[in-house]
Amino acid sequence: MIPAQKFSPGDKLVWLLIHSSLRGHFDRVFLRIREELTTEQRQLPIIICANHSSWWDGYVAALVERQLKLDGYLMMEEPQLKRYFFFRWIGCFSVNRQNPRSALQTLHYAARLLKKRPGRMVWLFPQGEIAPNDYRPLVFFSGAAHIAKLAAPALLYPAAIRIEYLAEQRPDLYISLGKPLLVSQEDIRTRGFLKQYTQCLQEKVTAELDALRQDVIQGQTEKFTRILRGRSSTNRLFDAALLRKQIQHQ
């Protein structure tokens, strides 16, 4: 496996690339956190599990990491990380699901990262591949539950990501973090823990996705916070020019 190789100059450089790309592609990015992390929860290993519906999802993880003010890491497919090696600088490490021994090594590595110091987060896409946002049923690999078992006590955080074209030329991006699930030392001794908690995560992420879709459709987005504003699109520049022209003729 390929480990993360975080260092400050590299992290800043890759973040500039990510931030600039997000601003160039999206009109607005919104975040909803259903339950803010307490000081005590921030001391625990945090595992965020999200749907994987677009190329942008890894960039979303980096953006949310900064909003939560956590030391974030991301599990990334090995061929992609080999190609885009510089993502190691921002905390990406590889997984090779075609090699069970290597995949298990990755899970243990992720658990060690989380346990090394408080305030760390690992972001996973348990589907293992990109699928349409409304594809059902969600089917997850058991990696998140396995990491939680190795790092317990830990928090499993369901997350939903949705891209929506609305009134602007560029799309809006919505991120919703559900309520975290505490995995205790007692929980991991439960018979069938991995299967049970993987199923639980599938259900929670599905529920978060469905709720997010309905909220966007119905325009119930008042609990979302705008965390990024994109560059002016063609229609916004045109509207601004028309407004200036109207003011000049008054």
* CATH number for 13: 3.40.1130.10
Domain contains 1: no
Cα–Cα distance measured from residue 13 to residue 36, given in angstroms and rounded to the nearest whole number: 29
Q: Does 46 map to a domain?
A: yes
Strand partners, 175: 31, 161
Are residues 156 and 203 in contact, defined by beta-carbon separation less than 8 angstroms? Answer: no
Type of residue numbered 239: D
Q: Cα 13 to the chain's mean position, in Å? A: 20
In a domain, 45, yes or no: yes
Number of structural domains (the chain) is 1
Residue pair 58/14 in contact by the 8 Å Cβ criterion: no
Q: What is the mean pLDDT of residues 224-234?
A: 88
pLDDT tens profile 157-195: 999 999 999 888 899 999 999 999 999 999 999 999 999
Angstrom CA distances, 61 to 84, 118, 152, 153, stand at: 16, 19, 22, 22
The set of residues, in sequence order, having a beta carbon less than 8 Å from that of 8 and lying 6+ positions away, is: none
By residue range, what is the domain housing residue 237?
Answer: 8-248
pLDDT at residue 243 is higher than 70: no
Residue 206 has pLDDT above 80, yes or no: yes
Number of other residues whose CB lies within 10 A of the CB of residue 172: 21
Tell me the C-alpha distance between 73 and 131, whole Å. Answer: 22
The pLDDT of residue 110:
99
Average pLDDT over residues 238-243: 57
Instruction: Give the DSSP letter of residue 42.
Output: G
Q: Which of 206, 211, 175 is nearest to 67 (CA)?
A: 175
User: What is the per-residue pLDDT for 167?
Assistant: 83
Greatest Cα-to-Cα distance within the chain, rounded to the nearest angstrom? 76
Whether pLDDT at 238 is above 90:
no
3 assigned to some structural domain:
no
pLDDT in tens, 95-144: 999 999 999 999 999 999 999 999 999 999 999 999 999 999 999 999 99
Q: Mean pLDDT across the chain, nearest whole number?
A: 94
Chain centre to alpha carbon of residue 212: 15
